[in-house]
Structure 1
Amino acid sequence: MFSIKRQIGNQAEDIALNYLIQQGLVLIEQNYLTKVGEIDIIMLDKAEQVLVFVEVRYRKNTYFGSATDSVDQTKQLKIMRAAEHYLGCQQKFDEYICRFDVIGLESDLKYPKINWIKDAFER
């Protein structure tokens, strides 16, 4: 049985995924898990031929900073290591440029404020 925190996380990821699909991105994989880290969503931005690794963060309130602020350098390194692992296993994306985006959701998940930061951090 999932914990409440995991259920909320899954709901936030679903909202982010639907938002990105509405923006024209195509889902490649969700919840890619390795020993070195996890990637919430992997998408293809066909308009730019870019493989996009997306970190989704949710905060009900911003007392301790925004949702996107919570993606610190340690988290970025984990995401980059997981992305390197993914690319090592998926040669079909060898020719693609990669980008790391962060989707921050804040407030109530019924009507969240969505903040999409493209190219949030560099490899």
Structure 2
Amino acid sequence: MRSVGAVWELAAQAELERAGLRLVARNWHCHYGELDLVMREGEVLVFVEVRYRDSAASADGTASIGPAKQRKLVRTADMFLAAHPDFANHTCRFDTVAFSGSGDNAVCTWQRAAFEAY
């Protein structure tokens, strides 16, 4: 559900901004897919995939980002860089922010450099 995803993407953005990252883009689309958040940490461009699981007992949302999803995110990030040449020389990384649980009791797990671009 899009509206539920938007809530958790905003929560992830707030968490990352508290840590000093700055928003570049949210929900950036191309024909390969979507980037939930694109942030900057200094001169590093950070592509962030946000996941949510309503039960703390379910598998961590990060675990659901398998090799096929990673390849899709890398291709989408390549398209973002092509569309925004000012960022072409920036170091890039792929982070995940996963929430598990419900409401105010949700636990946030931020994994920096969750996977490498192939």
Q: What TM-score do you get using the length of structure 1 for normalisation?
A: 0.91
Q: Percent identity?
A: 34
Task: Tell me which residue corresponds to 1:16.
Answer: 12
Given the alignment of the two structures, is residue 86 of structure 1 paired with residue 86 of structure 2, yes or no? Answer: no
Larger CA deviation: 102-111 vs 7-16: 102-111
**What is the one-letter code of the residue matched to 1:39?**
L
Task: Tell me which residue corresponds to 2:92.
Answer: 98
**What is the one-letter code of the residue matched to 1:15?**
A
For 1:62 and 1:68, how far apart are their aligned partners in 2?
13
Task: Tell me which residue corresponds to 2:60.
Answer: 66
Q: Is contact 1:12–1:109 with CA below 8 Å preserved after alignment?
A: no
Relative to total residues, which structure has the larger strand share, 1 or 2? 2
Larger CA deviation: 53-62 vs 63-72: 63-72
For 2:110 and 2:50, how far apart are their aligned partners in 1?
9
The number of residue pairs the alignment matches comes to: 117
Given the alignment of the two structures, is residue 41 of structure 1 paired with residue 41 of structure 2, yes or no? Answer: no
47, 50, 59: which is aligned to 1:53? 47
3-state DSSP of counterpart to 1:51: strand
Runs (4 or more) in structure 1 with deviation over 4 Å come to none
Q: Deviations over 1:3-61 (max 9, x none)?
A: xx211111010100000000000000000011011100000001xx1000000000011
Root-mean-square deviation over aligned CA pairs: 1.1
